[in-house]
Amino acid sequence: MYRSDSDGLQTARDQLVSFSARLLGDGLAVGSAGNMSVRLAGPPGADTPGGADTPGGADTPGADTVAITPSGVSYAEMKPEEICLVSLDGTKLRDGSQETPSSETPMHLAIYAATRAGAVVHTHSPEVVALSAARTELPAIHYAITGLGGPVRVAPYVRFGSAGLAEAAVQALDGRSAVILRNHGAVTYGRDLAQAYDRALLLEWLARTYRLALSYGEPAILSAAELAEVTAESRRRRYGERRGGAS
């Protein structure tokens, strides 16, 4: 979550531009494909729920706004002042740029409405797109998938930019911080842009390792119990670190 004052807004704009520039080098995008956004918390003093990285959280105050990358501007040339601002109901705000907000703005807003996401990243990364056309789920061949909440569902195909796609994405996200859009791409969210972006990289890596595993034959899949054990152990270790007990 980002503050909605001028410092918070500038941080959001700068991060959206710098992470967008990374998409090309990291192999997650070509041209201007994909988009990303961050949520700016409501006015100071608004009671905003914490735990932004937890999937399936409650609604946040209606005063939140969203900073989102513009439509059709190449990542290599994007400037902080070109970042658009929209309210959670989709109204374009005057404080943002005159550019047109991303065509996937409805999907970003639907995810903010349904979760505690602080940032959303959408890519057309190649391994995920390939998997989306051939599978209904990315299974757990590696325990790192617990970082996304578990096996990642593939949402049914619906045209880009539509309310139907937004709805399909939110439904398939249930209990996850990542979803794969059939014949389209990937969506991840996190407490901030760095976490959402790391999850996009993780999702692409998991899709690639799954494809490599398939080349050997039928891969072994981790069970729900094995994944639950990993999640519990990760929580225990994080708790230990916060108490200064890491070793």
Q: Position of tokens 């949402």?
A: 155
Q: For the segment 169-208, give every residue that binds Zn ion (CB under 5 A).
A: 185
State in angstroms the smallest separation of the CB of 103 from Zn ion.
8
Beta strands in 107-199, from DSSP E residues, in sequence order? 119-123, 137-138, 152-155, 178-181, 185-190
Residue nearest to Zn ion (CB): 185
For Zn ion, the closer of residues 55 and 185 by Cβ is 185
State in angstroms the smallest separation of the CB of 239 from Zn ion.
37
In Å, the largest CA–CA distance within the chain is 56
Rounded to 10°, the helix 193-214/6-25 angle is 20
For Zn ion, the closer of residues 9 and 207 by Cβ is 207
Binding characters for Zn ion, 108-147, by CB under 5 A (x = yes): ----------------------------------------
State in angstroms the smallest separation of the CB of 71 from Zn ion.
11
Residue 226 burial (CB count, 10 A)? 12
For Zn ion, the closer of residues 42 and 185 by Cβ is 185
Residues 178 and 214: their CA atoms lie apart, in Å, by 22
Size of the site for Zn ion (CB under 5 A): 1
State in angstroms the smallest separation of the CB of 174 from Zn ion.
21
For Zn ion, the closer of residues 70 and 185 by Cβ is 185
State in angstroms the smallest separation of the CB of 205 from Zn ion.
20
Q: Provide the 8-state DSSP code for 7.
A: H
Q: Position of tokens 């976490």?
A: 195
Residues 105 and 99: their CA atoms lie apart, in Å, by 13
For Zn ion, the closer of residues 143 and 157 by Cβ is 157
For Zn ion, the closer of residues 54 and 162 by Cβ is 162
State in angstroms the smallest separation of the CB of 186 from Zn ion.
9
Which structure tokens are listed for 155?
Answer: 């949402």
Return the exposure string of 87-111: e unless at least 16 CB atoms fall within 10 Å of the residue's CB, then b: ebeeebeeebbebebbebbbbbbbb
Pairing mode of beta strands 152-155, 178-181: parallel
Residue numbers of the site for Zn ion (CB under 5 A)? 185
